[in-house]
């Protein structure tokens, strides 16, 4: 069992994925972070003893911020906050997404700007390390004051209420699960309920896990594009490094280098159309460096923003013990994440769109020397006719999903919270767009491999051959019509979702860039 040490800083996308996907990874908090939390908590307790009034510590919340709460009622205040704010609805987040949220929440509290006891973080980590995962509804957050509703469901489980995923995969009573596992619920003290729910850890957790998948998808897009280019007897000339040097967007040069690695300088297929007289390929082939590259540049910015957010203090108020200050602020507002989630969704929508364009070219004999719809006996067989239709449907769905959530805002809490980010909606949309894009690229792989077979005995370039050979280990050439949905599902499950296709191609041609 390996260990992940949370310090309140330095948590990466890859680190969070380890926490999310590997319950055997033990998560701990560093000694330095523990000291920072201790100092912060001591400061808050001293202020309470002095009789100071502090928002969320001994006042009501939101529009009730002017209501003073007696010291005797502080624990009830925190418990009531969690209960009342647990108003989420909809299908629950996955266990992996919830583990990511828990890791992020622990990491931000470990920074020592929230004034909570170290025991709060210890309880989150106890749940994580024993794989006790709360059931968190996916809808109900407007992304400021943070992800209040979903994070409240997380906190609700910590205090022994709400629901936890049972060993049978069904929601179970938190009280019963904790009793059975011998885990004591957390008893909230001053400010701790508020500190558990102020922040953007839901949208950030969903976004970080999706961003890692998106990175792999962008490498797969280069592979699928190269496969289609060979199937369409396209040219490599548009990927000459001289071209990218004149327009120095990093992603464009990376993509051109990736394509040349996969395609090599030539192949039997490319040699077969030397001197054919074709001057230029369609944009969906020729412009892959520009389009795929722009998506890579976008994702790197998204990735950077998410990692900044993962290692930020997002509470309100924030505690600065050394400076003797408790400051009300807006660090819980999800706008930095919301904008990037919308940007990421738009980028992947574009990648799926250009992929569908290549499928369309593969099935259209006006743009290739291939039989219509890639069907060897067209008419009797429909071939990949509806594979392209299904891809077009997903691309069109992505266009709807790509409308930015972050441009919307609805005032909440009697207009006290008058501008919100809708960042969690943006993150959920990004993940859905990503899933659709993965399926479209899987369909392109299916059609591209069919095209390669139809060019036999001509052989493709080494990188393309590596992808083609792997595909053919599980999905044979379609001599006649069959249920192509099964082929798509097999390719996705075995080679795309687990990144095996990218790994095999990289083993053949070397590392690909993003």
Cα 169 from Cα 139, distance rounded (Å): 20
Position 190 pLDDT exceeds 60: yes
Q: Is the pTM of this model over 0.85?
A: yes
CATH code (residue 341)? 1.20.200.10
Position 274 pLDDT exceeds 80: no
pLDDT in tens, 400-433: 999 999 999 999 988 888 999 999 999 999 999 9
pLDDT in tens, 341-368: 999 999 999 999 999 999 999 999 999 8
Contact 420, 412 (CB under 8 A): yes
Q: What percent of the chain has pLDDT over 70?
A: 99
pLDDT in tens, 282-335: 999 999 999 999 999 999 999 999 999 999 999 999 999 999 999 999 999 999
DSSP notation for 68-87: B--GGGHHHHHHHHHHHH--
Mean pLDDT, range 119-138, rounded to an integer: 98
Backbone angles phi, psi at 136, to 5 degrees: -120, 115
- Other C-beta atoms lying within 10 Å of the C-beta of residue 162: 22
Q: For 116, what's the count of Cα atoms within 13 Å in the CB-facing half-sphere?
A: 34
Q: How far is CA 233 from the centre of its chain?
A: 35
Q: How far is CA 146 from the centre of its chain?
A: 18
Task: Determine, yes or no, domain membership for 514.
Answer: no
Is 43 marked active-site?
A: no
**pLDDT score, position 70:** 87
Lookup: tokens for 182: 């011998």
Q: Which domain holds residue 422?
A: 206-272+279-509
| H-run or E-run covering 364 | none
Q: Cis omega before residue 330 (within 30°)?
A: no
Residues 502 and 391 in one domain: yes
Q: How far is CA 39 from the centre of its chain?
A: 35
Residues 249 and 175 in one domain: no
pLDDT in tens, 92-112: 999 999 999 999 999 999 999
CA angle 336, 339, 343 (to 5 degrees): 135
**pLDDT score, position 441:** 98
State which of 163, 198, 233 marks the end of a domain: 198
Q: Which of 55, 283, 468, 492 is catalytic?
A: 55
DSSP 24: T
Strand 318-320, strand 325-327: pairing? antiparallel
Cα 508 from Cα 514, distance rounded (Å): 18
Task: Give the three-class secondary structure for 148.
Answer: helix
**pLDDT score, position 60:** 80
Between the CA atoms of 251, 253, 254 and 255, what dihedral angle is there, to the nearest 10 degrees? 90
State which of 198, 231, 247 marks the end of a domain: 198
Query: Which residue in the block uniquely carries the two structure tokens 């407007």?
Result: 142
Residues 398 and 445 in one domain: yes
Position 478 pLDDT exceeds 70: yes
Residues 292 and 173 in one domain: no
Query: Which residue in the block uniquely carries the two structure tokens 């792989």?
Result: 445
Cα 197 from Cα 195, distance rounded (Å): 6
Mean pLDDT, range 215-232, rounded to an integer: 98
Cα 207 from Cα 308, distance rounded (Å): 13
Mean pLDDT, range 240-245, rounded to an integer: 97
**pLDDT score, position 58:** 84
Task: Determine, yes or no, domain membership for 289.
Answer: yes
Backbone angles phi, psi at 325, to 5 degrees: -135, 140
CA angle 214, 220, 221 (to 5 degrees): 90
Q: How many domains, the chain? A: 2
Residues 187 and 220 in one domain: no
State which of 155, 177, 198 marks the end of a domain: 198
Residues 29 and 71 in one domain: yes
Residues 368 and 451 in one domain: yes
Residues 71 and 220 in one domain: no
Task: Determine, yes or no, domain membership for 354.
Answer: yes
Task: Determine, yes or no, domain membership for 425.
Answer: yes
Contact 450, 478 (CB under 8 A): yes
DSSP 171: E
Mean pLDDT, range 192-197, rounded to an integer: 95
Residues 46 and 7 in one domain: yes
DSSP notation for 368-423: SSSPGGG-TTBTTB-TTHHHHHHHHHHHHHHHHHTS-STT----BTTTTB-----H
Q: Report the range out of 47-56, 114-123, 413-422 with the highest average pLDDT.
A: 114-123
Residues 181 and 236 in one domain: no
Task: Give the three-class secondary structure for 348.
Answer: helix
Contact 203, 338 (CB under 8 A): yes
Contact 307, 270 (CB under 8 A): no
Q: How far is CA 437 from the centre of its chain?
A: 13
Contact 358, 444 (CB under 8 A): yes
């Amino acid at each position: 069992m390996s260990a992940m040490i949370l310090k309140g800083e330095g948590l990466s996308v890859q680190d969070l994925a380890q926490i999310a996907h590997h319950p055997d990874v033990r998560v701990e908090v560093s000694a330095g972070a523990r000291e920072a939390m201790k100092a912060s908590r001591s400061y808050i307790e001293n202020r309470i003893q002095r009789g100071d009034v502090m928002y969320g510590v001994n006042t009501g919340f939101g529009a009730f911020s002017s209501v003073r709460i007696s010291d005797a009622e502080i624990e009830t205040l925190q418990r009531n906050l969690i209960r009342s704010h647990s108003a989420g609805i909809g299908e629950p987040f996955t266990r992996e997404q919830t583990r990511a949220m828990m890791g992020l929440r622990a990491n931000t509290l470990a920074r020592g700007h929230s004034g909570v006891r170290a025991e709060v973080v210890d309880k989150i980590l106890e749940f994580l390390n024993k794989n006790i995962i709360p059931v968190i509804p996916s809808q109900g957050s407007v992304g400021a004051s943070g992800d209040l509703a979903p994070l409240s469901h997380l906190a609700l489980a910590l205090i022994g209420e709400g629901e936890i995923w049972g060993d049978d995969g069904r929601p179970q009573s938190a009280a019963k699960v904790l009793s059975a596992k011998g885990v004591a619920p957390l008893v909230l003290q001053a400010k701790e309920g508020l500190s558990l729910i102020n922040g953007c850890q839901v949208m950030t957790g969903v976004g970080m896990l999706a961003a890692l998948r998106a990175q792999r998808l962008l490498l797969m897009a280069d592979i699928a594009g190269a496969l289609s280019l060979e199937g369409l007897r396209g040219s490599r000339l548009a990927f000459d490094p001289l071209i990218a040097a004149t327009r120095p967007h990093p992603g464009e040069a990376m993509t051109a280098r990736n394509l040349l690695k996969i395609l090599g300088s030539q192949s039997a297929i490319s040699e077969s159309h030397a001197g054919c007289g074709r001057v230029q390929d369609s944009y969906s082939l020729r412009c892959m460096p520009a389009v795929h590259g722009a998506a890579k540049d976008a994702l790197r910015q998204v990735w950077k923003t998410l990692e900044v957010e993962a290692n930020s203090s997002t509470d309100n108020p924030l505690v600065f013990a050394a400076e003797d200050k408790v400051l009300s602020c807006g660090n819980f507002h999800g706008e930095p994440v919301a904008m990037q989630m919308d940007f990421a969704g738009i980028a992947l929508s574009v990648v799926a769109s250009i992929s569908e364009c290549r499928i369309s070219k593969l099935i259209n004999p006006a743009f290739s020397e291939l039989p219509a719809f890639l069907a060897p006996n067209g008419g009797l067989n429909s071939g990949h006719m509806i594979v392209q239709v299904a891809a077009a449907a997903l691309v069109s769905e992505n266009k709807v999903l790509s409308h930015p959530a972050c441009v919307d805002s609805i005032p909440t809490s009697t207009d006290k919270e008058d501008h919100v980010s809708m960042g969690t909606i943006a993150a959920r949309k990004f993940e859905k767009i990503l899933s659709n894009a993965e399926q479209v690229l899987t369909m392109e792989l299916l059609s591209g491999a069919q095209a390669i077979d139809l060019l036999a005995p001509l052989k493709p370039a080494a990188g393309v051959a590596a992808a083609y050979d792997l595909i053919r280990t599980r999905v044979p050439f379609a001599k006649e019509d069959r249920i192509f949905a099964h082929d798509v599902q097999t390719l996705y499950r075995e080679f795309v979702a687990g990144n095996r296709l990218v790994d095999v191609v990289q083993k053949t041609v070397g590392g690909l860039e993003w």
